[in-house]
Structure 1
Amino acid sequence: MAEPVPAAVPNATDSNGTEVLNATAKFVATPEGTALAYGSLVVMALLPIFFGALRSVTCSKSKNSADAPETITSRDAARFPIIASCTLFGLYLFFKVSSDLSVLLALLPPRLIPCLSSSPAMARIFPESFPNKQYQLLFTQGSGESKEEIVNYEFDTKNLVCLVLSSVVGVWYLLKKHWIANNVFGLAFALNGVELLHLNNVSTGCILLGGLFIYDVFRVFGTNVMVTVAKSFEAPIKLVFPQDLLEKGLEASNFAMLGLGDIVIPGIFIALLLRFDVSLKKNSRTYFYSSFLAYIFGLGLTIFVMHTFKHAQPALLYLVPACVGFPVVVALCKGELTEMFRYEESSEEAEPKEESSEPEKKKDQ
């Protein structure tokens, strides 16, 4: 998240410690503009976490293998900070040689399709009488018994409409690099990430958040790799909002920003706690709401410290202790700490299979 740019300072630094070149260094953000920018970023961060968590519950119950979430195990969580470091360093080397991102940006429109096609808003747009035909794209290799399926993709008319809409946004972003188009893609990425990336248990979530907590702090204060990448990487990997919107309108260029990692990483942990709430079958969402409020507190604390000391802060430094600590305290007060850490989504999937096998045994007897 970028702090206000003083008149004599040509550069600002975002929440991940990245230096952001600012051509309008003489601009000093007004208190109103700063409050609007930070408030908008907080709201935009909360939307994909809240709705992504709700959709993750539906996604976990889906019987369609195509909609199955990607489960993060403890081994994956331990490896993630290392993979992130290698990826970041690879991007650093890439930008030392070239800054052409046309291939990467060409992949943006398809990422909006699942977000748009499954959203309740789009469901209301399409009337019940809408002729939604089914299609299948099949690509095979060989013939006869040796025929091998390479691509088998099923879609419908709604998906095609969503493809057109997302392509319009993609072309807009490629041509203008406008901050609104950037935020549309950023919100879509964050929503899909929270919905489709599932932690298998709370212990895995603690490992992931703990590792990225150390990674974020080290990359902010220990190296300049993230600085170089963030300066060069013009792609929707962050949400931005101009602090000079009141003065310059939609053409504003002095941005505050928040990285998508500061949304998705805590978001998938909050979504896990919502699914734990559902598994308790108590018709309450205590752990979800406590972690959601903890995220608001952590993000607000990040902004407060940054604004007070006039120095950028790594957001996960405050978000991780808040998002983990609040639910743990609630579980201790309710006497459910052991139950929370024993919760395994995979075990729930196995129970129906055991129950369904009993009638078969009786039939055999």
Structure 2
Amino acid sequence: MEKIGCGTVSFSIRNWNFSVRSLLLAAVCISIAVVWGVYRNEDRWIWILQDLLGIAFCLNFMKTISLSNFKICVILLSLLLVYDVFFVFITPFFTKNGVSIMVQVALGPDASGEKTQGNMVEVPAEPQAPSEKLPVVMRVPRFLAWAQNLCGMQFSILGYGDIIVPGLLVAYCSRFDVWVNSRKKIYFVSCCIAYLLGMILTFAVMLLSGMGQPALLYLVPFTLITSAVVAGCRGEMKQFWAGTTYEVLDSSREPLLPEGRTDSSVGGERC
């Protein structure tokens, strides 16, 4: 729209200003959500829209919520690790069917037509009564297994929490890189690599054990320990633990500046 000269086109209705670009973006977003709502039980292709919605939700959450120091990251991620382990490993002892609450939430109520093994979901090809599925997981088809067995479509699932919780630490590492002027973004890159290794270990244990795994059990130690080691090796653990002093400015919100200060007065403290 900017190339054709329509990037800043806007109009007003009763003192309300609307930009054409925002209206088109809203139309696309609403259309994706409506199509998912109508065809949410169509397993062959609707996972694409569900994953798009999930990615948008996770990114918006990590943009809205930010952790100010490593101490808060340690406390929050550790508590959520205990929460995840409890609802995956402990709750089966309290449920009638022996299924963990986490798995039941991921599959949705009355998901009797699906078989689960670990974080893998198999959807039979025979017509069955549709079961509601809450859009709280990323669903990725196992194309190799589908090609070998055309009678059912299999999915690997990953909860949004397993993306958002470590993602808050990754976002903090990215902001800390800006604060210490790390051109190679050592904290951000190392934390992302740690997340990748933790995710690989999660799926490896899942496949070997045949049981659903609390991903935070592996992601939290990998990311926390890696970040702490990097900070210790660089001699920046004190600053990394206490947090940064700059304030993030977002163009969609009012500048977060103390009274009596202007943009020019914050200088290097602005990100």
Please say whether Structure 1 and Structure 2 have the same fold, judged by a TM-score greater than 0.5.
yes
Residues of 1 paired with 2:200 and 2:37: CA distance?
32
SS at match of 2:229: helix
**321-330 vs 302-311, which deviates more?**
302-311
Q: Is the CA contact 2:105–2:134 (under 8 Å) kept in the aligned structure 1? A: no
SS at match of 1:258: strand
- Residue ranges of structure 1 left out of the alignment (5+ in a row): 1-124, 139-151, 358-365
SS at match of 1:159: helix
Q: Is the CA contact 1:182–1:235 (under 8 Å) kept in the aligned structure 2? A: no
SS at match of 2:214: coil
2:198 is the alignment partner of 1:298? yes
2:76 is the alignment partner of 1:176? no
Paired residues, what number? 220
Equivalent of residue 312 in structure 1, options 207, 212, 227: 212
Q: Is the CA contact 2:70–2:240 (under 8 Å) kept in the aligned structure 1? A: yes
Compute the TM-score of the two structures, normalised by the length of structure 1.
Answer: 0.54
2:38 is the alignment partner of 1:161? no
Superposition deviation, residue 310 in structure 1: 1.7
Equivalent in the alignment of 2:43: none
Q: Is the CA contact 1:200–1:346 (under 8 Å) kept in the aligned structure 2? A: no
* Paired amino acid for 2:190: S
Residues of 1 paired with 2:168 and 2:204: CA distance?
25
* Higher RCO, Cα 8 Å, sep 6+: 1
- Residue ranges of structure 2 left out of the alignment (5+ in a row): 41-45, 92-99, 110-131, 249-256, 266-271
Residues of 2 paired with 1:129 and 1:253: CA distance?
46
SS at match of 2:134: coil
Deviations along 1:247-301, one digit per CA (max 9) or x if unpaired, are 299x973211101110111111101111001001242311111111100011011
Residues of 1 paired with 2:183 and 2:259: CA distance?
21
Equivalent of residue 218 in structure 1, options 86, 103, 121: 86
Equivalent in the alignment of 2:254: none
Question: How high is the sequence identity, in percent, across the aligned residues?
Answer: 33
Q: Is the CA contact 1:238–1:260 (under 8 Å) kept in the aligned structure 2? A: yes
Q: Is the CA contact 1:213–1:320 (under 8 Å) kept in the aligned structure 2? A: yes
- Go from structure 1 to structure 2 and tell me whether the alpha carbon gap of 1:159 and 1:314 turns closer, same or farther (over 3 Å shift): same
Q: Is the CA contact 1:219–1:226 (under 8 Å) kept in the aligned structure 2? A: yes
Q: Is the CA contact 2:2–2:8 (under 8 Å) kept in the aligned structure 1? A: no
As a proportion of its length, which structure holds more helix?
1
Q: Is the CA contact 1:201–1:345 (under 8 Å) kept in the aligned structure 2? A: no
Residues of 1 paired with 2:238 and 2:177: CA distance?
14
Q: Is the CA contact 1:244–1:252 (under 8 Å) kept in the aligned structure 2? A: no
Compute the TM-score of the two structures, normalised by the length of structure 2.
Answer: 0.71
Equivalent of residue 261 in structure 2, options 344, 353, 356: 353
Residues of 1 paired with 2:208 and 2:105: CA distance?
27
SS at match of 1:219: helix
Equivalent of residue 255 in structure 1, options 131, 152, 155: 155
- Go from structure 1 to structure 2 and tell me whether the alpha carbon gap of 1:310 and 1:355 turns closer, same or farther (over 3 Å shift): closer
Q: Is the CA contact 2:174–2:185 (under 8 Å) kept in the aligned structure 1? A: yes
Equivalent in the alignment of 1:239: 138
CA RMSD in angstroms comes to: 3.1
Equivalent of residue 8 in structure 2, options 132, 137, 142: 132
Q: Is the CA contact 2:138–2:159 (under 8 Å) kept in the aligned structure 1? A: yes
Q: Is the CA contact 1:137–1:154 (under 8 Å) kept in the aligned structure 2? A: yes
- Go from structure 1 to structure 2 and tell me whether the alpha carbon gap of 1:129 and 1:247 turns closer, same or farther (over 3 Å shift): same
